[in-house]
Structure 1
């Protein structure tokens, strides 16, 4: 958890005991316990509320599939630039701009004297 080991937490606790003092330490420990319980209750309440609002579909959702850490930004951009999603390449492309260049090659060139499209409502 945040790179805190047992030794570091113990050291923080000893420093806190010296700074706060033995007379106020039980009061602050009690407040910390209440804070942790309240945060746990808020998290459980939010989970229960989502479960109530989603109904029985909540248990059917594959939460691992929705994890944003599994997405590859290069694949997302490639899928956005191309009309149909491609299979993942076996080896990395030597040119990092290849998906963009392929998209540009599909576009039609303007005829001589033809004006590019213009949107009056664009900023």
Structure 2
């Protein structure tokens, strides 16, 4: 917290109490208390405003899943290096381990050239360019 240890904070508090004096100390403590309450109310207001704007799906978010402290980089690298990759040929193989024969003798369906209209404008996607 601001690079101040417990002992340094205690020394600063005693020094502030001595400089302010016993007659003005309650006034400054009351100001500090109201300032802290205002900050807490502002934080709570921002939190409720965010929840209202996000809608009901904000309640369903599992924030612990996004906690960076749960990730172990060594485990992630170990899993990436030593996990076996799935065999792409195994996906094509049948139950007996042999891939089904493919029929390459049949030609692909022919393109209908009569559908082409040279007068028609070429489709253009404004979002893609």
Larger radius of gyration: 2
Higher relative contact order (CA 8 A, sep 6+): 1
**What TM-score does the superposition give when structure 2 sets the normalisation length?**
0.47
**What TM-score does the superposition give when structure 1 sets the normalisation length?**
0.48
